Amino acid sequence: MRLPKQPNELIDRETVVSFSFEGSPVSGFRGDTIGSALYVAGRRVFSRSFKYHRPRGLLCCSGQCPNCMLTVDGVPNVRVCVEPIREGADVRPQNVLGSLDRDLLGVIDRFAGPFTPVGFYYRTMIRPRRAWPLYEKFLRHVAGLGRVPANVESRRYDTEHLNVDVLVIGGGRAGRTAAAEAAADGTRVLLVDERGGTGADGYQVLAPARAIGIYEGGLVPVDAGDVLYRVRAARIVVATGSVEQPLVFPGNDLVGVMLPGAVRRLVDDWAIKPGERAVVVGADDRGLDVTDQLQRAGVEIAAVVDLRSSETARISASGSGGRLRSVVIGPSARKVGCDVLVASGGRQPAYSLLAQAGALIEYEPRRSIFLPRELPAGVETAGSVAGTGDPAAAPLASYGTSEGDKCFVCVCEDVTEKDVRRAVAEGFDSIELAKRYTTVTMGPCQGKLCHLGSIRLLARETGTPEDEIGTTTARPPWAPVELGLLAGRHHEPMKRSPLHFRHEQAGASMMWTGAWRRPFAYGDVEAEVRAVHQRLGVIDVSTLGKIVVDGAQAGELLDRLYPNRFSDLAAGRIRYGVPTTDGGRILDDGTVARLGDELFYVTTTSTGSDSVCEWFEWWNTVWGYDAEIVNLTGALAAINLAGPQARDALASLTDVDVSNEALKYLDARELSVAGVPCLALRIGFVGELGYELHFPASAAEHLWDALVHAGAVPFGLEPQRILRLEKAHVIIGQDTDSESNLLSAGMPWILKLDKEDFVGRFAAELAQERGLGERLVGFTMPSTTLPPEGAQVVIDGWPAGRVTSARVSEQVGRTIGLAWVRPEFATDGAEIEIRVSGSLARAAVTLTPFYDPDGVKLRS
């Protein structure tokens, strides 16, 4: 029943909003919450409790307790007391077998008590072991609150960054005042408000939104529904207020037992009469003042007990069907009939955010609450979170427990006073242990309504003062957060080469290589390999790292960064380079071309471009050579033109002399191809005559088209892997690992120990001194067998190495591969065995490339 218009009511009586509850229509006004509309429609039982399935009704009415959690439009655990009403919402109960009013699992409350004491899941249902699958099935079915629907509509969550001078957390009176004051001189102020609300007086408001933690550096994540704001503030004002604390007494969870705030909101905000006959018990003025609201709503006030002045040692509520009917209260212990019991043990400052920020939390024995002290720099308080407030009584840890109904310390997890006593008796007598054992404070309210109460109880049971017991550690998130918000927007970052759409148009099957999308092949892998060997192929190698090193001491810098020498490289020439670390690890590989006296062009592997550039810059920050390092990877495209016809094709597209005399193997030349200025590197990763053309990315499609038009067949990564394996070219990170060094990987010629110090020298010398433990070698076997990568090498029945790469080569006519073996088997023709599909296959070691071992083709 609605009351006449209340002075500050939030409802718009002109606009009716309808939704469904358990399939039946319910209506309310705009300004209602789903919870208030249900209450006015007569609903009193909103949920069933976690463990005992006891009926529960509105307790705090401010989004803190678990009592009104329902499933709304498939989203479980929505606190409907603060969830704005919306047209057409589908609201359903959760954690029930049957209906809210007739929950078959309610039987647990009546009969299972002795079998489900605190920690029962640690010690019952253990035996017989064979029955565990049955127990598990049952437990999984009844455990937890709410269900995540199987077919969830995916929602988008985003993260945004905000920088402000002052962040005020909490939109109550104190928070608003603090924000207005701070904003008066033009300071940028942001106020975060859990309820709605708009900005005023020159400050910005984020609402409805909740600060869920305070991290170092003044970082405050703010949950605004679909957006997680990462707010950075120089000053943080915490105005989170205080939380009304329930009293602990038998029957304190009956439907009809409320905190004062619930009554205040029902009457003031939504003009709802909470009940017919009320009893009020309070420890402070704010708790007792709800008599105003009750009177205004026409509720008969049967009794008022001020805990500050009365010698109350016993409160006991009883009811039927889970609904409150009467309460025995006060020194006289008289029984009073009522359907509403407003019970409040004073207010505990909501200090969690302050504790996370590093404040000290101390017990104040006179008022029996915890207060924040010694705030860290940059963090302040405003309002009642600092513990300012009316004088209040220190309530008892519990009121009368020897008889009557269950007496709850924690309504979220159904932890009773008896559970805490039992935990202490079993030795869990520190708050951190008792918390973990009983799970008190670990439910949806995260201790807002039970932390203080559980510490008071523990103090009484252990005979230890509260200040010695202390608090448990406050950790983020302070309020429940949807996991999607923390995960952020679902996206998979992808790098595309400037030729990406050409590959797609050509029907390439694309694959991931790191963050890159690259063509696996355009069709028949073998045909693409054949095209390169016999005629002409092109492959997009734009993903290669491309770094320019420029300056008077560029050569010296490279000499220090590589095991081989570059300062003596002639202009227009190319040398292979393998940077290593001082620990001896092979970092990457690539080519270094000298383009001028002071100018070098370095290529890296596709995945190594950033790390190699960072590596160069780091060492040059240490050494300070006169050399600039510029990463041009994204600015340039690169295409490798390879095959016996490569020279003719190139000649047809350029005016420059590209004869074998003018442009030799390992020459680098700047020339124009199809009108595009290119750097041509004559190198041969794939084993045939080839030119790697590097040029501005904007011309990529034009040049690609010209080369394809000239007869080149596009080939993908898989054909390239076969081609490079035929040459026994290693892929760093696939054929090598962090234990490999230049000697064991079969590249001793790279190492120039006669030059001055370079990064990796110590390790190289040590490796030389110690000899090899393993060597990377080639092997061949009949093409009917193909070992997987990682296959075991077996010698005399014992594991003696592993395969790192293997492919069937049509060109060689056998299966070829690379493998790590013991050094004594690193001789041409040595016989090894490889485990393939459970049986052993024979293979022969080869130390030279499988195809064109003398590099005649490359030089032709």
Partner 1 sequence: MSFLLSCPNCGLRDVYEFKYQGEVTKRPSGQPSQRELSAYVYFRDNVAGIQREWWYHRVGCGQWFIAERDTRTNTVLGTEIPLPARSPDR
Radius of gyration of the CA atoms of the chain, in A = 38
Nearest approach in angstroms of CB 757 to partner 1 is 5
Among 623, 628, 634, 782, binds partner 1 (CB under 8 A): 623
Question: Which residues make Cβ contacts (< 8 Å) with residue 332, sequence separation at least 6?
Answer: none
Q: What is the DSSP string of 251-300?
A: TTTSBTEE-HHHHHIIIIIT-B---SEEEEEESSHHHHTHHHHHHHTT-E
- Token digits of residue 382: 């405003």
Site string for partner 1, 554-593 (x = CB under 8 A): ----------------------------xx----------
Binding segment (CB under 8 A) for partner 1, from list 598-606, 618-626, 740-748, 820-828: 618-626
Binding segment (CB under 8 A) for partner 1, from list 263-271, 452-460, 596-604, 610-618: 610-618
Nearer to partner 1, 219 or 847 (CB): 219
757 binds partner 1 (CB under 8 A): yes
Strands 545-550 and 628-631: antiparallel
661 binds partner 1 (CB under 8 A): no
Q: 135: helix, coil or strand? A: helix
Nearest approach in angstroms of CB 234 to partner 1 is 10
Nearest approach in angstroms of CB 232 to partner 1 is 7
What is the C-alpha to C-alpha distance for residues 9 and 803, in angstroms, rounded to an integer?
A: 76
Nearer to partner 1, 617 or 810 (CB): 617
Q: Which residue has tokens 């990315």?
A: 697
Considering only residues 765 to 794 of the shown chain, the ones binding partner 1 according to CB under 8 A are 766
Among 115, 120, 512, 618, binds partner 1 (CB under 8 A): 618
What is the C-alpha to C-alpha distance for residues 270 and 165, in angstroms, rounded to an integer?
A: 37
Binding segment (CB under 8 A) for partner 1, from list 6-14, 400-408, 484-492, 612-620: 612-620
614 binds partner 1 (CB under 8 A): yes
Nearest approach in angstroms of CB 776 to partner 1 is 22
Q: 611: helix, coil or strand? A: helix
Nearest approach in angstroms of CB 216 to partner 1 is 5
Nearer to partner 1, 132 or 618 (CB): 618
374 binds partner 1 (CB under 8 A): no
Nearer to partner 1, 583 or 634 (CB): 583
- Do 491 and 284 touch, CB atoms closer than 8 A? no
82 binds partner 1 (CB under 8 A): no
What is the C-alpha to C-alpha distance for residues 718 and 707, in angstroms, rounded to an integer?
A: 20
Nearer to partner 1, 321 or 583 (CB): 583
755 binds partner 1 (CB under 8 A): no
What is the C-alpha to C-alpha distance for residues 812 and 851, in angstroms, rounded to an integer?
A: 7
Q: What is the DSSP string of 415-472?
A: EEHHHHHHHHHTT--SHHHHHHHH-TT-STTTTTTTHHHHHHHHHHHHT--HHHH--P
Nearer to partner 1, 626 or 657 (CB): 626
Considering only CA atoms, which of 724, 843, 853, 705 is closest in space to residue 783? 843
Among 14, 153, 185, 216, binds partner 1 (CB under 8 A): 216
What is the C-alpha to C-alpha distance for residues 675 and 422, in angstroms, rounded to an integer?
A: 87
Q: Which residue has tokens 């001189």?
A: 185
Task: Compute CA 860 distance to the chain's CA centroid, rounded to the nearest angstrom.
Answer: 55
CB atoms within 10 A of CB 621: 8
Binding segment (CB under 8 A) for partner 1, from list 281-289, 588-596, 619-627, 636-644: 619-627
Binding segment (CB under 8 A) for partner 1, from list 49-57, 298-306, 432-440, 613-621: 613-621
Nearer to partner 1, 613 or 841 (CB): 613
Nearer to partner 1, 758 or 850 (CB): 758
Among 42, 217, 463, 838, binds partner 1 (CB under 8 A): 217
Letter string b/e over residues 488-509, b meaning 16 or more CB atoms within 10 A of that residue's CB = eeeeeeebbbbbbebbeeeebe
What is the C-alpha to C-alpha distance for residues 166 and 31, in angstroms, rounded to an integer?
A: 31
Site string for partner 1, 699-738 (x = CB under 8 A): ----------------------------------------
Nearer to partner 1, 140 or 491 (CB): 491
Nearer to partner 1, 120 or 762 (CB): 762
- Do 454 and 416 touch, CB atoms closer than 8 A? no
754 binds partner 1 (CB under 8 A): no
Question: Which residues make Cβ contacts (< 8 Å) with residue 143, sequence separation at least 6?
Answer: none
Would you give the DSSP letter of residue 562? S
Nearer to partner 1, 276 or 765 (CB): 765
Nearer to partner 1, 616 or 851 (CB): 616
Nearest approach in angstroms of CB 581 to partner 1 is 8
215 binds partner 1 (CB under 8 A): yes
Distances (CA, A) of 508 to 279, 512, 516, 520, 685: 77, 13, 14, 7, 22
739 binds partner 1 (CB under 8 A): no
Q: How many helices (H) and strands (E) does the chain have?
A: 23, 47
What is the C-alpha to C-alpha distance for residues 47 and 63, in angstroms, rounded to an integer?
A: 14
Binding segment (CB under 8 A) for partner 1, from list 137-145, 490-498, 760-768, 848-856: 760-768
Nearer to partner 1, 115 or 762 (CB): 762
Nearest approach in angstroms of CB 739 to partner 1 is 14
Task: Compute CA 702 distance to the chain's CA centroid, rounded to the nearest angstrom.
Answer: 42
Q: 395: helix, coil or strand? A: coil
Nearest approach in angstroms of CB 632 to partner 1 is 13
Letter string b/e over residues 741-762, b meaning 16 or more CB atoms within 10 A of that residue's CB = bbbbbbbeebbeeebeebbbbe
Using N-to-C axis directions, what is the helix angle for 609-623 and 554-561, rounded to 10°? 110
Strand partners, 823: none
621 binds partner 1 (CB under 8 A): yes
Nearest approach in angstroms of CB 628 to partner 1 is 12
Among 73, 181, 426, 617, binds partner 1 (CB under 8 A): 617
Nearest approach in angstroms of CB 546 to partner 1 is 16
378 binds partner 1 (CB under 8 A): no
Nearest approach in angstroms of CB 381 to partner 1 is 22
Question: Which residues make Cβ contacts (< 8 Å) with residue 794, sequence separation at least 6?
Answer: 800, 832, 833, 834, 835, 840
Considering only CA atoms, which of 453, 449, 454 is closest in space to residue 412? 449
What is the size of the binding site for partner 1 (CB under 8 A)?
21
Nearer to partner 1, 501 or 623 (CB): 623
Among 45, 257, 763, 767, binds partner 1 (CB under 8 A): 763
Considering only residues 122 to 161 of the shown chain, the ones binding partner 1 according to CB under 8 A are 161
Nearer to partner 1, 555 or 716 (CB): 555
| Three-state secondary structure readout of 354-393 | HHHHCCEEEEECCCCEEEEECCCCCEEECHHHHCCCCCCC
762 binds partner 1 (CB under 8 A): yes
Considering only CA atoms, which of 719, 229, 319, 352 is closest in space to residue 511? 719
Q: Give the interface with partner 1 as residue ranges (CB under 8 A).
A: 161, 215-219, 232, 582-583, 614, 617-618, 621-625, 757, 762-763, 766
